[in-house]
Chains A and B, each alone.
Chain A
Amino acid sequence: MLGKLDWSAIPFDQPIPLVAGAVVLVAILGVLAWVVIKGHLPYLWREWITSVDHKRIGVMYVLLASVMLLRGGSDAIMMRIQQAVAYQSQGYLPPEHYNQIFSAHGTIMIFFVAMPFVIGLMNLIVPLQLGVRDVAFPTLNSVGFWLTATGALLVNISLVVGEFARTGWLAFPPLSELSYSPGVGVDYYAWSLQISGVGTLVAGINLVTTVLKLRTKGMNYLRMPMFCWTTLASNLLIVAAFPILTATLAMLLLDRYLGFHFFTNEAGGNVMMFMNLIWAWGHPEVYILVLPAFGIFSEVVSTFSGKALFGYRSMVLATMAICVISFMVWLHHFFTMGAGPDVNAIFGIASMIIAVPTGVKIYNWLFTMYGGRIRFATPMLWAVGFMVTFIVGGLTGVLLAVPPADFMLHNSMFLVAHFHNVIIGGVLFGAFAGFEYWFPKAFGFRLDERWGKAAFWFTFLGFFITFMPLYVAGMLGMTRRMQHYDVAVWRPWMLVAAVGMAVLTIGVICQIMQLVVSIRDREALRDRTGDPWDGRSLEWATSSPPPVFNFAFNPDVRGEDAYWEMKAHAKQQLLEHEEPEYQDIEMPRNSPTGFVCAFFATIMGFALIWHIWWMVILGGLGAFATFVLFAWRDHDEYVIPADRVARIDRVNLEERRRLVSMAGAI
């Protein structure tokens, strides 16, 4: 009746996951109870859960990523403590549990923190920057988000019910095959990624179509803001790479569930095929994450330097070059697995070549700052901190791209330090910069600068104190994923790294404090103009938060830095505004489809993991019924009447006129 599920699935003998699970459960129940008692449930359902508004979905993505960042961060803290104390002892974590922690940490940080964070920011901002009303497929957008949430939920369920994979974050066979991992850990891993992967693919298709087909009048390709370009590149990569992940995991699941022989040791299966397939997805994935961050830095650096982006066209070219080359380097992830010197040399050179367009970008940001009027607001701090950090990570990356060096350093703490260097210093700093930069746009008030700067400095220093020692430990021969060790020279570096982790934690606390303080002082921090940073692109041309339809009129773009030119134009013409003629606006209707889909997907995923076949059929039927019901609806749009549009837009125009006249007075 319940497949493999019984009471032994719940680890009553292990206090750590039980206590953690209990705390999370109490927190969730507490929030739910508060929501229900205060009567917020109908509001949440109407305005958020069933919303198809790209801004709301973007905010929910970022919220999901932030919550999961805390989960993945606690895993990181546990690992750093373990390695600090596990010198000539077993430490405080049993090996079984430690292996689950590092697998979960990697999986969560990449799939449920970095991905939703950048997809959330793209969702929130790209339609605004392109001057359009929504993404190409609004309901599908909601489906994508909720499927991602399903994946995150399944990973968290594994904390208490059953176990998570003990295989590392990419579940290499034959370790992940049934004979070596007979438990449900790998199944949790594979099904949560399959389900959230569908969500990611949907988001990718949506954003590619939005950028290519929905741009407003006059928004030619070479007038798009840089963030739109990197979004396009990143989502093209999603569309091309995520199906590879889907196929690879499907093969692994077929091996595990039906006794197939794709990657087994017996009957002709080929383990190296898994390496090739998974990294053919995995390497582009790195650029899927970092390209949007590059876009954010481009926006931030040019805004806070008060200058147009230096070398815009070379930036576009560099972005697309990275997009293409990222598919030609995957083999550098297994230089040491016997491909031979010719193949290694070719992939080594390709890996080094990808540093060239990245270098072009770094120089362009520096030249943008050169001669500019730089304001060191929090987003700019993250951008400059990124440039410093990312160069270190890039250099160690080029070092690892030299096959002979890689033979010495692969699988060591040096590698761990390298990819944390680029992912934290690139993606996470970018995500934080974007968060600080666009928060006022999403919510209508700025974030507290003092707490923001404190958060930056603690995170920045904490990062270096944590990860520079890991480079050294790697040079000293320490391999990754060690549960305990007996080598005395590694010990001090592990202790320093643990201290660094403590500093990083203070950074996280500052960030939470910033949010709390800013919400408390939101009236004082209110942004009435919609343009708190003196921005250059179209998202600043509407009010903050934007009305549901974003723009009362489709903006007419006449050049790069569309809004900057509009502002300059307005100052010259000294505010000759006449009342425009407003028209009715059609907007997509809210729909519970996404949430219902995710509900059935969760049931189905859980049932598949535990082999509860009747429940799988139930979930599948439910999903199909949702699809048909959704297809049957008669009205998918509603109309916002012209006078309401006018009322909303007049307020915005009034504030803006005041802004321009003040600027004119100066």
Chain B
Amino acid sequence: MSMTATAGHAHADPHHIGVVIEHTGPAPKRIVTAYGFWIFLLSDIVMFSCFFAAYAVLAGQTAGGPKGSEIFDQKNVAIETVCLLLSSFTCGMASIAADVRNRFWFYLGMAVTCALGLIFLTIEFREFADLVARGYGPSRSAFLTAFFSLVGCHGLHVSAGVLWLLTMMAQVFAKGFRADIQRRMMCFALFWHALDIIWVAVFSVVYLLGSAP
């Protein structure tokens, strides 16, 4: 029970060897909420990593069906990627607008984010529908199973994100920029950016590596 520093010295020099920095008590709500949501995002990324692992294991198991290089359309994926990366930018703009409580730019940023998200989803849906129509559905081979699940799981997250986005716009419309709504907006932005990071991984692991002949 040695006490290296006396309690209450909030301004104690942290660089001085032997000084214990006193914990100053519970963090403010904004920090706590963001921190908890970060932990959720990490757990979500762990879940994605399982689907990535499954894809890595099953990517070669085509069971006589098509390989990745035969079904991936580079142009579609390029458009999808641009949409999603751009939407991360507009989502950032909306966050800044929320911080400075500017309704016009907030609505505009969110609306563009939503539009880009929907374009992304439409392209992905058309890709899936086209594959199924050609008889290359998820039950064709283990490779297609893993492909549909991984990319579909990301798509499902984007869909949930769009629903959340619309709810956020409605909330700001009805309640204004209240502190709790600002916190939710921060969580939504974290979520949307995290989806972007996961898409970069999907893009590299599935489409880039998979397009090699």
Residues of A within 8 A of B (CB): 132, 136-137, 201, 204-206, 208-209, 212-221, 239-240, 242-244, 246-248, 251, 254, 258-262, 264, 266-270, 273, 277, 308, 554, 556, 558-561, 565, 624, 628, 631-632, 634, 636
Whether B50 pairs with A247 at a CB distance below 8 angstroms is: yes
Whether B23 pairs with A218 at a CB distance below 8 angstroms is: yes
The residue of chain B having its C-beta at the shortest distance from the C-beta of A266 within the complex is B63
A260-B22 contact in complex given A214-B27, A247-B50, A560-B1, C-beta closer than 8 Å: no
B142 is contacted by which of A213, A258, A270 (Cβ under 8 Å)?
A270
Which residues of A have CB within 8 Å of B149? 251, 254, 260, 262
Q: How far is the CA of A26 from the CA of B148 in the complex (A)?
A: 47
Convert B46-70 into 0s and 1s, putting 1 for each residue whose CB lies closer than 8 angstroms to a CB of A.
1100110110011001110000000
B46 is contacted by which of A136, A206, A240 (Cβ under 8 Å)?
A240
B102 beta carbon closer than 8 Å to chain A: no
Q: How far is the CA of A261 from the CA of B148 in the complex (A)?
A: 11
Whether B184 pairs with A631 at a CB distance below 8 angstroms is: yes
B24 is contacted by which of A136, A206, A217, A243 (Cβ under 8 Å)?
A217
Whether A201 pairs with B3 at a CB distance below 8 angstroms is: no
B54 is contacted by which of A243, A251, A264 (Cβ under 8 Å)?
A251
The residue of chain A having its C-beta at the shortest distance from the C-beta of B184 within the complex is A631
A267-B50 contact in complex given A243-B43, A558-B3, A631-B184, C-beta closer than 8 Å: no
Q: How far is the CA of A220 from the CA of B58 in the complex (A)?
A: 47
Q: How far is the CA of A554 from the CA of B23 in the complex (A)?
A: 13
CB B152 to nearest CB in A, in angstroms, measures 10
The residue of chain A having its C-beta at the shortest distance from the C-beta of B178 within the complex is A634
Whether A132 pairs with B26 at a CB distance below 8 angstroms is: yes
Whether A558 pairs with B35 at a CB distance below 8 angstroms is: no
Q: How far is the CA of A269 from the CA of B145 in the complex (A)?
A: 9
Whether B138 pairs with A201 at a CB distance below 8 angstroms is: no
Inter-chain CB contacts under 8 Å: number: 146
Which residues of A have CB within 8 Å of B163? 624
Q: How far is the CA of A628 from the CA of B170 in the complex (A)?
A: 10
A205 is contacted by which of B36, B53, B143, B167 (Cβ under 8 Å)?
B36
Whether A137 pairs with B184 at a CB distance below 8 angstroms is: no
Whether A239 pairs with B43 at a CB distance below 8 angstroms is: yes
B213 beta carbon closer than 8 Å to chain A: no
A554 is contacted by which of B21, B22, B25, B174 (Cβ under 8 Å)?
B25
B90 beta carbon closer than 8 Å to chain A: no
User: What 6 pairs across the A-B complex have the smallest Cβ distances?
Assistant: A268-B61, A268-B142, A247-B50, A243-B47, A259-B139, A217-B25
Interface size counted on chain B using CB atoms at 8 A: 48
Whether A268 pairs with B63 at a CB distance below 8 angstroms is: yes
Q: How far is the CA of A218 from the CA of B26 in the complex (A)?
A: 10
Q: How far is the CA of A107 from the CA of B169 in the complex (A)?
A: 43
Cβ contacts A to B, 10 pairs, < 8 Å:
A201-B43, A216-B23, A218-B22, A239-B42, A240-B46, A243-B44, A254-B138, A267-B142, A267-B145, A269-B58
B7 beta carbon closer than 8 Å to chain A: yes
Whether A636 pairs with B63 at a CB distance below 8 angstroms is: no
Which residues of A have CB within 8 Å of B175? 634
Q: How far is the CA of A261 from the CA of B65 in the complex (A)?
A: 13
A216-B26 contact in complex given A205-B39, A268-B62, C-beta closer than 8 Å: yes
A258-B53 contact in complex given A214-B32, A217-B23, A244-B46, C-beta closer than 8 Å: no
Whether B36 pairs with A136 at a CB distance below 8 angstroms is: yes
B81 beta carbon closer than 8 Å to chain A: no
B96 beta carbon closer than 8 Å to chain A: no
A273 is contacted by which of B44, B57, B139 (Cβ under 8 Å)?
B57
Q: How far is the CA of A665 from the CA of B188 in the complex (A)?
A: 60
Whether A267 pairs with B139 at a CB distance below 8 angstroms is: yes
Whether A244 pairs with B50 at a CB distance below 8 angstroms is: yes
Q: How far is the CA of A337 from the CA of B180 in the complex (A)?
A: 52
Which residues of B have CB within 8 Å of A216? 23, 25-26
B171 beta carbon closer than 8 Å to chain A: yes
Q: How far is the CA of A137 from the CA of B40 in the complex (A)?
A: 13
CB A543 to nearest CB in B, in angstroms, measures 21
Whether B3 pairs with A559 at a CB distance below 8 angstroms is: yes
CB B55 to nearest CB in A, in angstroms, measures 10
B20 beta carbon closer than 8 Å to chain A: yes
The residue of chain B having its C-beta at the shortest distance from the C-beta of A248 within the complex is B50
Which residues of B have CB within 8 Å of A632? 171, 174
Whether B1 pairs with A219 at a CB distance below 8 angstroms is: no
A214-B43 contact in complex given A136-B36, A270-B61, A559-B1, C-beta closer than 8 Å: no
Whether A239 pairs with B39 at a CB distance below 8 angstroms is: yes
B58 is contacted by which of A206, A209, A262, A634 (Cβ under 8 Å)?
A262
Whether B35 pairs with A209 at a CB distance below 8 angstroms is: yes
B78 beta carbon closer than 8 Å to chain A: no
Q: How far is the CA of A84 from the CA of B205 in the complex (A)?
A: 55
Whether B46 pairs with A261 at a CB distance below 8 angstroms is: no
B141 beta carbon closer than 8 Å to chain A: yes
B115 beta carbon closer than 8 Å to chain A: no
Which residues of B have CB within 8 Å of A204? 43
Which residues of B have CB within 8 Å of A212? 35
Whether A631 pairs with B50 at a CB distance below 8 angstroms is: no
The residue of chain B having its C-beta at the shortest distance from the C-beta of A130 within the complex is B26
A268-B141 contact in complex given A273-B54, A273-B57, A308-B1, C-beta closer than 8 Å: yes
Which residues of A have CB within 8 Å of B31? 213
B165 beta carbon closer than 8 Å to chain A: no
| Most B CB within 10 A of own CB, among A205, A261, A559, A632 | A261
B98 beta carbon closer than 8 Å to chain A: no
Whether B43 pairs with A217 at a CB distance below 8 angstroms is: no
The residue of chain A having its C-beta at the shortest distance from the C-beta of B163 within the complex is A624
CB B40 to nearest CB in A, in angstroms, measures 5
Q: How far is the CA of A264 from the CA of B7 in the complex (A)?
A: 62
Please give 13 more A-B residue pairs, beta carbons under 8 A apart, in addition to A213-B26, A632-B174.
Answer: A132-B26, A204-B43, A209-B32, A217-B25, A254-B138, A258-B138, A258-B139, A268-B58, A268-B141, A269-B61, A273-B53, A561-B1, A631-B184
